Amino acid sequence: MLTAIVVFALLAAAFGLLLGFAAVRFRVESDPIVEKIDAILPQTQCGQCGFPGCRPYAEAIAAGEADINKCPPGGEAVALALADLLGRDPQPLEGEAKAKMVAAIDENTCIGCTLCLQACPVDAIVGAAKQMHTVISSECTGCELCVAPCPVDCIRMEPVREDIGTWKWPYPVIKVTPKKVTEA
């Protein structure tokens, strides 16, 4: 009887220590599902979902506080991938999916106010106070967050130019030609 109690107490202590060690050693920083959702989101950081960036949106989805169809830049592909990942039903996209855009600053009009610099979520605008600003197009996510703050309206969004390197074969269109009805 006593032996049994001692054995079980020892076992309990040993496993307790093991679990405690594992909890410290293999600590998970944050919810891995958030990482997975964040990996699917397009990282434009545009806030069109109503959250201040992609990660907060991912956290909200993980917590079940947000729907999965609030990401217009991601379009249907992202909504479907999220539905697949989370086992939720795919929903029609809220908001319109737009063509990919990139910001461009009219450098003649720019007054160097740095407001767009502060708005850009990915530091894709270079410039300094009272110096001309310009967009690093390759880093621009097309989030449009720099457009509104500009006091002189010198930022415009341009569609991303397609070149031979990025061109995609179109989805094949199968022509359906109705059969001619010959009069008998």
Q: Does 144 bind another protein (CB under 8 A)?
A: no
What's the burial of 8, exposed, middle or buried (CB within 10 Å: 0-12/13-18/19+)? exposed
- Residue 113: partners with Cβ closer than 8 Å, 6 or more residues away: 129, 150, 151, 152
Provide the terminal-to-terminal Cα distance of the chain, rounded to the nearest Å.
Answer: 102
Site stretch for another protein (CB under 8 A), options 21-29, 85-93, 150-158, 162-170: 162-170
Rounded-to-integer distance, Cα 117 and Cα 122, Å: 9
Q: Does 48 bind another protein (CB under 8 A)?
A: no
Of the residues 82, 141, 144, 154, which one makes contact with another protein according to CB under 8 A: 141
Q: Does 177 bind another protein (CB under 8 A)?
A: yes
- CB count within 10 Å of CB 155 equals 23
Q: Does 125 bind another protein (CB under 8 A)?
A: no
Residue 99 CB, shortest distance to another protein, in Å, is 13
| Closest to another protein by CB, 78 or 155 | 78
Q: Does 181 bind another protein (CB under 8 A)?
A: no
Of the residues 29, 96, 123, 183, which one makes contact with another protein according to CB under 8 A: 123
- Residue 66: partners with Cβ closer than 8 Å, 6 or more residues away: 49, 50, 51, 57, 60
| Closest to another protein by CB, 23 or 99 | 99
| Closest to another protein by CB, 26 or 167 | 167
Three-state DSSP state, 83: helix
| Closest to another protein by CB, 145 or 155 | 145
